[in-house]
Amino acid sequence: MRLWFRLFLFLLASPFAKRFSDPLETSKLQYHVLPTDIDTNIHLNNGQYLTLMDIGRIDILLRAGLWRAVWKNKWMPVVSAASIRFRREIGLFQKFQLESRIVYWNESTSVIEQRFRLLSGKHKGVVAASALVRVGMYDRKARAFVQIQSWMNEAGISATCPPIAPHVEAFLQAEEQQKLYDRATDEPATGHLNS
């Protein structure tokens, strides 16, 4: 419910947001921690970070003009991996900024870096949490992920992939290792739970 309310307000404001001249620009969205966002420690609940990050990625799609090809082809954005590091708490009613930007892509997936920066309190300006998210665009009709370059071409966007940063490369390698581990340890369902 919290996401739907914030998403509704975001969509109302999005037609007035400045469009990106470059898809690698940084999206910046400002929020306050509401009573519905907190956990028993009276700070932003760890699950709420991932929920807010969804809106940051939608903002990139809209402001970079990438949404047109997605809408036209009925593609589905799919998150395949996320890694988040918490550095400082964001307390009740504290103001913060969610910063999202595309930092890398390969043939069919992109990596988006998302940061929560404090805008109030004694640690104003400090990054409270940082995350990397691996995202692909899935074509249900073709049952395959869309090639990033063809997606950009269809959206009429020209951009060069930035060089891969060490932390991004480590994230992708760790995600690949996790995928291999999951596949190796998958066990077929037996039809009942063992006690």
Residue 34 within any structural domain of the chain: yes
How many domains, in total, are found in the chain? 1
Q: Does the pLDDT of residue 136 top 80, yes or no?
A: yes
Tell me the pLDDT band of 191, cut-offs 50, 70 and 90. Answer: low
Residue 9 within any structural domain of the chain: no
Residue 117 within any structural domain of the chain: yes
Mean pLDDT in residue range 60-78: 90
Tell me the pLDDT band of 2, cut-offs 50, 70 and 90. Answer: low
**Predicted TM-score (pTM) of this structure:** 0.88
Residue 4 within any structural domain of the chain: no
CATH number, domain containing residue 40: 3.10.129.10
Q: Does the pLDDT of residue 160 top 80, yes or no?
A: yes
Distance (Å, whole) CA 39 – CA 192: 35
Q: Does the pLDDT of residue 149 top 50, yes or no?
A: yes
Contact 2, 51 (CB under 8 A): yes
| Mean pLDDT rounded to a whole number for the chain | 89
Residue 98 within any structural domain of the chain: yes
Q: Which domain holds residue 117?
A: 20-180
Q: Output the pLDDT for position 195.
A: 43
Residue 195 within any structural domain of the chain: no
Percentage of residues in the chain having pLDDT higher than 90: 67
Residue 97 within any structural domain of the chain: yes
145 versus 6: the higher-pLDDT residue is 145
Contact 30, 119 (CB under 8 A): yes
